[in-house]
Amino acid sequence: MREEDKTFMLKDQEVEHNWITLDAEGKTLGRFAAEVAKILRGKHKADFTPHADGGDGVIILNAEKVSVTGNKEAQKVYRHYTGFIGGLREIPYRTMLHKNPERIIEHAVKGMMPKTKLGRRQLKRLRIFAGNKHNMEAQKPIAVSA
């Protein structure tokens, strides 16, 4: 078999992780989260390999300015279970937006990532900030308008 006939497989040692800055202002939550998940997984690169961690880190700014469509602002509810009897907690979207806007995007992106060890490792390169300032200058992020 010739070398050019072989399928290219990216190895973890060959990967260089870059950092990308995205602005969430005015973006629709689900479409924006899908784009972020694609970058975290590395699907935006030509050398995407499903079993290798070839994705880039993502820095999200203005998380509190993300928008939702339809009646989701009034009807969307975030639920989690504490582990105790009767411990189902429900937090409406509007409350979550005021108290912890970062969790809204984090929850959406996490749901779009693979539920594996690799997916959890890729999700660690997601940084979300409520304002337009971040403390990640050392990573030399590339500003992208997605």
Residue ranges covered by each domain of the chain: 17-68+101-143
Q: What is the CATH number of domain 17-68+101-143?
A: 3.90.1180.10
- List pLDDT tens digits, range 8-64: 888 888 888 999 999 999 999 999 999 999 999 999 999 899 999 999 999 999 999
Q: How many CB atoms lie within 10 A of CB 23?
A: 19
Question: What does the DSSP assignment read for 67-91?
Answer: B--TTHHHH-EEEEE-SSTT-EEEE
Taking the model in full, what pTM does it have? 0.91
How many whole angstroms separate alpha carbon 77 and alpha carbon 72?
A: 9
pLDDT of residue 146: 62
- List pLDDT tens digits, range 79-115: 999 999 999 999 999 999 999 999 999 999 999 999 9
